[in-house]
Amino acid sequence: MIFRLALIPILATSLNAFTVTGLQVEHQSNPVGLDDSHPRFQWQIAGETPGLSQSAYQIVVGTSAESISGDSGDLWDSGKVASSASHVTYAGKDLPSTAYIFWKVRTWNTSDEVSPWSETQKYITALIGSDPTAPWISFKDDIPFHKEAKKLHLPAPRYYRKSVKTDRKITKAIAYASALGIYELHLNGKRVGDTYFAPGWTNYHKRAYYNTYDLTSQLQGNTNTLGAIVADGWYAGYVAYGKLVGYGPYKTGRNTYGKTPALMVQLELTYDDGSKETVTTDPTWKVTTGPEYEADFLMGESYDARKELGAWSTNGYDDSAWQSAILAKDNGSHKHVFIDRFSKEEKEFGFVKPPVLQAYPAQPVRITEELPSKSVTKREDGKYIFDLGQNIAGLIRLKVTGESGQKLTIRYGEVLHPDGRLMTENLRQARSTDTYICKGDPKGETWTPRFTSHGFRYIEVSGLTEKPSTSMVTGLVMHSDTPFSSGFECSDPSVTQVYKNAVWTQRGNWIDLPTDCPQRDERMGWTGDAQIYAASAAYHADVAAFFKKWLRELEDDMTPEGYYPSYAPYPVGHGGAIHGTAWSDAGIIVPHSIWKATGNPDFFVNHWPAMTQYMEARKKHDPELQGTAFGAPWGDWLNVNDPTPHEYVDLCYFALVCKQMAAMAEAQSLNNEAQKYTDWLETLRKNFRANHLQADGSIKPTSQSAYVLALDCGLLTDEQERKTAGAHLAKHLQSKSGPTNTGMTTGFLGTKPLLPVLTDTGNLDLAVKLIQSRKFPSWGYEVKNGATTIWERWNSYTEEHGFGGADGKMNAAMNSFSHYAFGAVTEWMMSTLAGIAPAEPGYSKILLHPHFPSKEASDETDTISWVKAYHDSPHGRISVSWKRDGNDALVYEATIPPNTTAELILPESSPWKSENPARVSETLLPGTHRIVVK
């Protein structure tokens, strides 16, 4: 056996140059509108000197670029702080509201050489310690409250405008705006910013966000005109499956939070003499309807271009035919009975000011990519179907030349029926139909809806009189604009595609919150899905700010007993309980996952009282710690005829959250709490052994997920017992496998940890065989059948039964082609196959532990022989690659960023030349390393 380890710093340079980059405040770069009084600043170090690390830093913060032009700042100068930490919580003077905040950082390396100052960063504070006080306005809403459950009610969005005259020169104009509904802000004839679906979905009775806009550069002299368009959105429009199951006021599924959308704008002006003025929404604003005659998030948008208002947000526009706005409260009280599974009580649907107004804390939803149509096909019925080649969520841009009054109807689908028809059955009650009525411009007209979103790959257009070219329809990919942060490829294109599909599914579902699916009448922040996927999501993208927002929504909708809900926000009840095992546990698992990925303890520190309350409520429900039927019994949802009892799943998840709570308590030095959760975990383990572990090491219940969960959740700790349980699991899988079947039966909960526990118990080859398989059910089966996103069900489509499932009923029930839970396998692909994981939270110490399958692992195709991956960690990019060369040597390369170290675990000799070679572990310093193992 030969073991050769050669550390070659490929990019070694003699220069010690290093710089400070990747600066973020509260996990965003140069955010506009932060209301945190003590934000967290972080940075990275860039430089190619091997071993580069930080020994000290200095951060300066000021109110102007000049104030920090030297080596200090007028708000804060940390001085030189001896520390390797590349983040710090603000500790200067009180941060001013509505201000530009400038900051920069320099660092010292371990030889005490100093870097240049970073580029100056600039962010904008929102209102710190106070809320906007602008009055909320609405149109005078005389429309009777909608009471017909069967009939769609789709009111037109409203256009608001107001010209603002000033007599002095404005040097700064910052606007805060929000809506009950969704809105777009305009100024002087142009849309402000590029955000969609502002201000996001919250429980508006508890909290709403406002967005911050710097209007300074869009101002024109002494008169400026503000405008806004406001649609129903989640506040008043159709939400989730309310219409389908008959929930909401009068069982209509709409008006979940209120009757009439409302608008709030507060413009803070600073004049050149330093004086300030605030302009707000009030009844002097004018309001009318425009070309959109319908605009609903689920149902779609309808636009009559003949009714366009022209330059409606410019100075001097004739608004004499517009009505005056009114104070939102003047639409009066509207009390109606709200009906869902859990309530039937009278509620107020008139205006209620959200008790908490906060600055939107995350990257907003934006259009992040445009996809041209790849083909257009004529159907016999005169309709045309455009194909983007990729399942996405978002909108389209329509470019058309038509007669005035020509009506185009646009429908969306994720897949086609075998005969080429658009498949829309899986949209359920989401109409997802846009309508465009042409104005007849001979030069052509262009339209993009604004207040709706669809999940689709195919676009069906009817109403055309001649064959269009593909350029008529462009797909606009929309999602919360979290910076993407990873890549994965390997020698098996199917596995590479699985990774891409998971990332596309995240893009399709990260719409203000982690939704379950982007197409049907659901699109809710299901907590089970989110907890399963959080760690994968954090590999794929920088989701810290995104989860900072959602964790608040999760806490807002906790039940009075202290249970986290099954989805957040929680607009209407579900058929089961409000909470549920593994779903509610998201309140613990998501903060834990995001802490691991980012190193920021705020994700649990800020929620600790609620997390603790939840754990106590969970314990109260199960004082003996045996596992009980805890809330809704979804359990191992969508398993393949291999269910696991709810009580058993609960036992496992209780153990998992105890383990994570103990770790998070310890990280805060809450030793008694850490001990308490460790004690609970011990009792859960004891009860597991007493009630579920058999003498031969097998587990009762016998489902695959029963094994997977016991192994993953920390119930089985003894190495030998784990191996035995792993062997039983492998046997179970093999016994169910056959020429066309992988044997996999796990559902939502069992699938994510399946490959990790197989790997961990000595069954790596089986794990690799499964990820490479094209048999049913598997990720590769989806890819083989044309998937470009992850399916909700293993059998969302089967070669034998199409979309219908064996009983032919699946479409009507639910069958999404963009559901990320099964995509959580990417966590294993990154952490285990490529071998990039945080050894310490936030990757200040990295674990590089790649795994190498034997050559025969896959019996369907060539076993994976190389992998390349990277992840942009909080310290910078970590890249790795490994390959089996022609002589069966292992060639491994890794680049680790400055200010980190990595523990590398590799076999002592080629894994393809000897069986189970011993592992060696090596500490790697920043730089690039190439290692050959023969």
Q: 298 near 238, Cβ under 8 Å?
A: yes
d(CA 41, CA 27): 8
Does residue 499 interact with ligand BGC by CB under 6 A? no
Q: Which is nearer to ligand BGC, 118 or 584 (CB)?
A: 584
Q: Which is nearer to ligand BGC, 36 or 529 (CB)?
A: 529
Nearest-approach distance from CB 516 to ligand BGC, in angstroms: 4
Kindly indicate which of the ranges 354-362, 520-528, 683-691, 728-736 contains the residues binding ligand BGC, using the contact rule CB under 6 A. 520-528
Q: Which is nearer to ligand BGC, 517 or 541 (CB)?
A: 517
Question: For ligand BGC, which residue of 526, 648, 781, 870 counts as binding (CB under 6 A)?
Answer: 526
Nearest-approach distance from CB 508 to ligand BGC, in angstroms: 13
Environment class of 160 (CB within 10 Å of its CB; exposed 0-12, middle 13-18, buried 19+): buried
Nearest-approach distance from CB 580 to ligand BGC, in angstroms: 8
Kindly indicate which of the ranges 289-297, 429-437, 522-530, 709-717 contains the residues binding ligand BGC, using the contact rule CB under 6 A. 522-530
Q: Which is nearer to ligand BGC, 197 or 526 (CB)?
A: 526
Q: Which is nearer to ligand BGC, 472 or 814 (CB)?
A: 814
Q: Structure tokens of 128?
A: 């710190």
Across the beta sheet with 901-907, what order do the strands follow? 836-838, 845-848, 901-907, 919-924
Kindly indicate which of the ranges 33-41, 139-147, 267-275, 515-523 contains the residues binding ligand BGC, using the contact rule CB under 6 A. 515-523
* Site map 579..618 versus ligand BGC, x via CB under 6 A: ----------------------------------------
Does residue 634 interact with ligand BGC by CB under 6 A? yes
Helix 646-667 and helix 586-598, axial crossing angle in degrees, nearest 10? 40
Which of these is catalytic: 26, 553, 792, 827?
792
Closest to 414 measured CA to CA, from 69, 832, 790: 790
Detail the DSSP E strand segments found in 305-444. Answer: 323-324, 326-327, 335-339, 344-348, 357-359, 365-372, 375-378, 384-400, 407-413, 415-416, 422-423, 433-437
β-bridge mates for residue 615, sequence order: none
Q: Which is nearer to ligand BGC, 473 or 530 (CB)?
A: 530
Nearest-approach distance from CB 902 to ligand BGC, in angstroms: 36
Query: In Å, how far from its chain's centre is CA 33?
Result: 20
Question: For ligand BGC, which residue of 265, 398, 459, 517 counts as binding (CB under 6 A)?
Answer: 517
Q: Which is nearer to ligand BGC, 524 or 836 (CB)?
A: 524
Q: Is the peptide bond before 372 cis (omega within 30 degrees of 0)?
A: no
d(CA 142, CA 52): 68
Number of residues that bind ligand BGC (CB under 6 A): 10
Q: Structure tokens of 254?
A: 């709409």
Kindly indicate which of the ranges 477-485, 523-531, 543-551, 723-731 contains the residues binding ligand BGC, using the contact rule CB under 6 A. 523-531
Does residue 183 interact with ligand BGC by CB under 6 A? no
Cα separations in angstroms, 505 against 261, 366, 403, 617, 752: 31, 16, 38, 34, 15
Cβ-based neighbours of 823, under 8 Å, separated by 6 or more: 498, 501, 502, 505, 506, 533, 536, 790
d(CA 462, CA 402): 13
Closest to 162 measured CA to CA, from 303, 264, 235: 264
**Phi, psi values for residue 566, rounded to 5°:** -80, -20
Nearest-approach distance from CB 696 to ligand BGC, in angstroms: 34
d(CA 342, CA 295): 29
Nearest-approach distance from CB 574 to ligand BGC, in angstroms: 8
- Of the chain, the end-to-end C-alpha distance in Å amounts to 8
Please say if 908 is a catalytic residue.
no
d(CA 167, CA 459): 51
Closest to 692 measured CA to CA, from 659, 744, 655: 655
Nearest-approach distance from CB 477 to ligand BGC, in angstroms: 21
Other CB atoms closer than 10 Å to residue 82's CB: what's the count? 9
Question: For ligand BGC, which residue of 36, 319, 460, 529 counts as binding (CB under 6 A)?
Answer: 529
Q: Is 378 left (phi over 0), alpha (psi -120 to 50) or beta?
A: beta
Classify the C-alpha dihedral 791-795-800-804 as positive or negative: negative
Nearest-approach distance from CB 523 to ligand BGC, in angstroms: 9
Q: Structure tokens of 926?
A: 């920043």
Q: Which is nearer to ligand BGC, 517 or 836 (CB)?
A: 517
Please report, as residue ranges, which positions from 778 to 837 form the binding site for ligand BGC (by CB under 6 A): 814, 819
Question: For ligand BGC, which residue of 516, 553, 622, 782 counts as binding (CB under 6 A)?
Answer: 516
Query: In Å, how far from its chain's centre is CA 506?
Result: 6
Distinct helix (H) and strand (E) counts, the chain: 17, 48
Q: Which is nearer to ligand BGC, 479 or 929 (CB)?
A: 479
Nearest-approach distance from CB 532 to ligand BGC, in angstroms: 9
Q: 235 near 204, Cβ under 8 Å?
A: yes
Nearest-approach distance from CB 634 to ligand BGC, in angstroms: 4
Nearest-approach distance from CB 326 to ligand BGC, in angstroms: 39
Does residue 249 interact with ligand BGC by CB under 6 A? no
d(CA 832, CA 688): 28
Q: Which is nearer to ligand BGC, 527 or 745 (CB)?
A: 527
Residue owning tokens 């941060």:
95
Q: What is the DSSP string of 235-246?
A: HHS--TTHHHHT
Residue owning tokens 């209301």:
35
Nearest-approach distance from CB 576 to ligand BGC, in angstroms: 8
* Site map 96..115 versus ligand BGC, x via CB under 6 A: --------------------
Q: Structure tokens of 15?
A: 């220069």
Does residue 522 interact with ligand BGC by CB under 6 A? yes
Q: Which is nearer to ligand BGC, 108 or 241 (CB)?
A: 241
Closest to 262 measured CA to CA, from 199, 220, 174: 199
Q: 428 near 241, Cβ under 8 Å?
A: yes
Question: For ligand BGC, which residue of 31, 449, 514, 528 counts as binding (CB under 6 A)?
Answer: 528
Nearest-approach distance from CB 814 to ligand BGC, in angstroms: 6
Kindly indicate which of the ranges 110-118, 135-143, 500-508, 516-524 contains the residues binding ligand BGC, using the contact rule CB under 6 A. 516-524
β-bridge mates for residue 339, sequence order: 248, 344
Question: For ligand BGC, which residue of 139, 386, 504, 637 counts as binding (CB under 6 A)?
Answer: 637
Kindly indicate which of the ranges 34-42, 232-240, 525-533, 597-605 contains the residues binding ligand BGC, using the contact rule CB under 6 A. 525-533
Q: Which is nearer to ligand BGC, 57 or 634 (CB)?
A: 634
Kindly indicate which of the ranges 122-130, 170-178, 524-532, 537-545 contains the residues binding ligand BGC, using the contact rule CB under 6 A. 524-532
Which of these is catalytic: 48, 292, 460, 522?
522
Please say if 624 is a catalytic residue.
no
Q: Which is nearer to ligand BGC, 185 or 532 (CB)?
A: 532
Classify the C-alpha dihedral 79-80-81-86 as positive or negative: positive
Q: Structure tokens of 68?
A: 């920090």
Q: 209 near 202, Cβ under 8 Å?
A: yes
Binding site for ligand BGC (CB under 6 A): 516-517, 522, 526, 528-529, 634, 637, 814, 819
Catalytic residue IDs: 522, 792
